[in-house]
Amino acid sequence: MRALSLTLGEWLEAFIADLERRNYSPRSTRSYRYDLLLFVAWVGEQADLKSPGDLTTPVLEQYQMHLMLRPSRKSSKDRRTMSAGARNRHLAELRSFFKYLKRSCKLLSNPSSELEMARDTRKLPKTILSIPEMARLLETIPKITPSGLRDWAAVELLYGTGVRRFELLGLDLTDLRLAEELVHVLGKGNKERVVPIGKAARQALERYLAEGRPRLVRGEHRKLFVSAAHGGPVRDVELMLAIRKHATRAGIKKFISYHQFRHTFATHLLRGGADLRAIQALLGHEMLSTTALYTRVDVSDLKKTLKQCHPREQDNTPPT
């Protein structure tokens, strides 16, 4: 049993190296390694698992049950078990690992292909920013300093395109096609998409590129957003702290995050009448169900729609 665990450990390192060759981010590879090491350790504790051929679908289902009973890392005090979302992340990583093992001829078959994902009782997205709040935030950001121009362009791009944190910070100068009002985005799994940008985002970017970035940048790097501290590519923490300071000055008490702008972008589009499939393409989602989670519609909106559109809610509904 120990021999199998050691073998899996070696295969895991080869798998991580393969992810790095495919340009997975350091954060993603750390997550894969940490989560899959839990599986390797579990295999080492199973006396009846002695060779790779013993890793069958029923065995992986036993590991799935083990995850269901395992305490969450974030809830060590009250000992709550791992959430369905966290278990699904583990299983998705396990599937990717076993796909790699089959593709690299280390296994003859993929026992993880039959695993069923946990039913995820997804929470609604956190509170989005309202249209007036977005307007106040954008108005409050100063447009006379290099860092202010950077923050303005970043918020306009976040709100105007719904890009993810790593997508925003990964943008190079060559990804912009301002004359066409387009931006080239490299998303999850190195999947590319071209996203339109509106007039407001284009104008903010043009001002930043002309008056802000040249005064911030040091060196020859081509990243779009630049640190005010050292002139290199800006880190996510520095940029978000700056945006939160602007939000505080704008009187916004809600917690601000990169993902909140993504929720806000999608929900405002939906409320404006955008088709869900169009929002799916803009966000770079593979599954429409994922887009539906991001585009939360408040219950008050649903009540209003029901009263306006349902025949039984009309004043002239005849009595039965």
The alpha carbon of 249 is separated from its chain's Cα centroid by a whole number of angstroms, namely 27
When mean pLDDT is compared across 2-6, 174-178, 258-262, the lowest value belongs to 2-6
In this prediction the pTM is: 0.60
Question: Which residue has better confidence, 293 or 315?
Answer: 293
SS3 289: helix
**Cross-strand pairs, 184:** 194
Mark whether 287 and 141 lie in a shared domain: yes
Residue 155 domain boundaries: 131-303
Order of strands, sheet of 192-196, starting from the edge strand that comes earlier in the sequence: 176-177, 182-186, 192-196
Of the ranges 28-32, 103-107, 150-154, 261-265, which is most confident?
150-154
Q: How confident is the model at residue 83 (pLDDT cuts 50, 70, 90)?
A: confident
Pairing between β-strand 182-186 and β-strand 176-177 as defined by DSSP bridges: antiparallel
| 151 within some domain | yes
> Does 310 have pLDDT greater than 90?
no
CB burial string 196-214: b at 16+ within 10 A, e below: ebeeebbebbeebbeebbe
Q: What are 200's two structure tokens?
A: 């407001």
Regarding whether 144 and 86 lie in a shared domain, the answer is no
Average pLDDT over residues 254-277: 88
**Residue 96 C-alpha from the chain's centroid:** 18
Query: Which of 89, 114, 139 is the C-terminal boundary of a domain?
Result: 114
Neighbours of 320 (CB within 10 A): 4
Tokens 């602007």, located at residue: 246
92 and 140 part of one domain: no
Residue 78 confidence (pLDDT): 46
Let me know if residue 73 belongs to a domain. yes
**Overall average pLDDT of the 87-95 stretch:** 87
Q: Which of 150, 164, 213, 268 is catalytic?
A: 164
- Nearest residue to 137 (alpha-carbon basis) of 294, 291, 260, 295: 260
Strand partners, 223: 172
Q: Residue 287 has what DSSP assignment?
A: -
> Quick one: 168 and 295 in the same domain?
yes
Mean pLDDT of 230-252: 96
27 is catalytic: no
Question: Is 221 an active-site residue?
Answer: no
Candidate list 66, 106, 207, 259, residue with the active-site label: 259
**Same domain for 165 and 217?**
yes
Asked, for residue 75, whether it belongs to a domain, the answer is yes
Quote helix, strand, coil % in the chain, to nearest 5. Answer: 60, 5, 35
Would you call 164 a catalytic residue per the annotation? yes
Q: Is the same domain home to 91 and 164? A: no
pLDDT tens digit string along 23-68?
Answer: 888 888 999 999 999 999 999 888 888 889 889 988 888 888 888 7
Question: Which residues share a beta bridge with 196?
Answer: 182
pLDDT computed for residue 119 by the predictor: 58
Q: Is the pLDDT of residue 75 over 50?
A: no
Domain count across the chain:
2
Give catalytic status of residue 193 as yes or no.
Answer: no
Is 315 part of any domain? Answer: no
Q: Specify if 320 maps to a domain.
A: no
Q: Is residue 125 part of a domain?
A: no
Q: Is residue 105 part of a domain?
A: yes
List the CATH number of the domain containing 282.
1.10.443.10
Is there a catalytic annotation at residue 246? no
Residue-wise pLDDT for 143-180, tens only, equals 999 999 999 999 999 999 999 999 999 999 999 999 99
